[in-house]
A and B are shown apart, each in its own frame.
Chain A
């Protein structure tokens, strides 16, 4: 008789929901950086498929590497940790925060190296791997003056989008997965079905971001259109929904999560609207992730 008391391990289902959450974004990135660019004649159909195939290949290869690691190196007897690994999702996110004109010979090795390092330190340090990846990638590409978020069409385009409503839909310049705020919100709605997703983090991040934005607007530092354009161009909503809320590098205590989200939102707003440095969001998340053990010590009466 099936036991009504014992609950099944839910991690696989949780991870599948995470992957489902980024599926609309992958499809949109294929449309925006693939199909639309093919229509301008600057990319072949074959090459356009990379935006669909590569994330799938990354996910599959991540599982392969997990299998090698757990069964081959750690000599575990069952595939439990392989099947329940969140690494494929994290690696897919790493891909989505790359620029569209992929330098796969740089991005893939960085993903692999970071994965190996994380396994070596056995997750003893709370690190947001996606934020770390983006920072390292930015650093390396900037060093060789190769950093760019333009896709194959935008490189040659003379006029780039500046209409906030079109940017909201995803017509702006940005990383593969971060341009469309609309699809990030769709991803958020999908993730709401995942009861283990830390849903309050994106909300508080966005509210804090908006609050600081309002102050800057009222202070005359930026006008409303600039605020919207900066926000949608920076991919902040994508980062808040998917990167800042990664469960393995965010606080477990509720009050800690709130403080973490406020700090991420406030500093991100300053980075984007004041400094004009979009990559700064990832630096903020990386630092806040490292401070997670400190945030876990906060206990307020709301807990």
Chain B
């Protein structure tokens, strides 16, 4: 595919791989969580494991035996895929009412970005904006997920728009040829969806910038922002009354012309997923999560599991560049997409942490180093 990064359009080779049968799945538990299983129990796919005080529910993505640890549940996958008997799936979500949408999402406790999706739906929004673009650099998860679910996503957007009585907009990047063509061929059946193909790439495709550029007439809080992952979760919840267990992650090594998109299961050990599919050398590497330009190295990589928070993994040769003093060249200020001064003493609340200031800095400084190291 064609991909634009740092003002440079390039042909990118993407290798898609599956890792849908992890050896183990781990679910972290926090204080206050209700745990519905214990060591020695056998759990089925879709079985409820944990519920947080906020109502977010975690279900088992594999079948197997549980081992309860101090702060997690580890399920050893027996690869049988035995699942809890679920309600019968419905043929179409077209007739689902607003109260049912909210009810099902609430009952299943589905979440995205550590927030209950139902809370987002319940907020008094005036417009629905589906940002189906992969927001972080060198991520292609939404691209692939969208390809798998074009019709489902359009149906869900249309349903929400009708039931919540709000205008709906679907945004795709012009570089996303396959999905743009697919949507264009189907959009005629969904007159309530406004389809926008936008030229901008990272970080001009973040929600904040999109809101300012295309939806100026609304306050940010009045916009219901959903993305591909949350729409697929809503669709599967409505149609099958089940949670989603699979997700895509992108893995990038040192070559900027190649990326790997791996379909795997929530809870799988991240290192195992990557080792089994891409098999890179992990020794003497700098590992970054989600956005390498933030320059926040991952320190606890071995223990990480696949969650909604992890979208991409960058595995680079160790960087021996040390930062030097700021020369006040102003490149960071010029490139900032939200127009703030990264050199000011306090990190502005408007900072979207895109990391572009770090990327252009000739002195290799980390201008958003106020962040702690990511786990």
A residues with a Cβ closer than 8 A to B are 1-11, 14, 78, 80-81, 84-86, 123, 196, 198, 247-254, 257, 296, 299, 303
Contacts and interface: CB of A to CB of B under 8 A. Distances in A.
Given A252-B343, A303-B339, A9 B362 contact: yes
B330 A248 contact: no
Given A5-B292, A196-B331, 16 more contacts: A3-B317, A3-B319, A5-B252, A7-B321, A9-B323, A10-B363, A14-B362, A81-B324, A196-B327, A198-B329, A247-B328, A248-B327, A248-B328, A249-B328, A252-B329, A252-B332
Residue among B292, B322, B339 having the largest count of chain A Cβ atoms under 10 Å: B322
Interface string B42-81: 0000000000000000000000000000000000000000
B46 to A, nearest CB: 39
B363 to A, nearest CB: 5
Contacts of A84: 324-325, 363
B330 A10 contact: no
A252 B333 contact: yes
Nearest to B314: A5
Contacts of B322: 9, 78, 80
Identify whether the interface residues of B are mostly helix, strand, loop, or mixed: loop
Contact of B254 (A5, A248, A296): A5
B341 interface: yes
The list of the 10 closest CB pairs from A to B, nearest first, reads A252-B330, A4-B256, A10-B362, A84-B324, A196-B329, A3-B254, A80-B322, A1-B254, A9-B364, A9-B321
Nearest to A8: B321
Interface in B135-167: none
A23 B274 CA distance: 53
B255 interface: yes
Contacts of A252: 328-330, 332-333, 341, 343
Contacts of B41: none
Nearest to A77: B322
B316 A198 contact: no
7 contacts: A2-B254, A2-B317, A8-B321, A196-B362, A247-B328, A247-B329, A248-B327
Interface residues of B, number: 31
A264 B314 CA distance: 47
A252 B253 CA distance: 34
A6 B328 CA distance: 21
A3 B363 contact: no
A257 B322 CA distance: 29
Interface in B313-351: 314, 316-317, 319, 321-325, 327-334, 339, 341, 343
A247 B361 CA distance: 14
Residue among A3, A86, A253, A257 having the largest count of chain B Cβ atoms under 10 Å: A3
B65 to A, nearest CB: 41
B169 interface: no
A247 B325 contact: no
A10 B254 CA distance: 20
Contacts of B333: 252-254, 303
Given A2-B254, A2-B317, A4-B254, A250 B328 contact: yes
Contacts of B266: none
Given A252-B343, A253-B330, A11 B317 contact: no
Contacts of A247: 327-330
B315 to A, nearest CB: 10
B341 A296 contact: yes
A182 to B, nearest CB: 27
B260 interface: no
Nearest to A196: B329
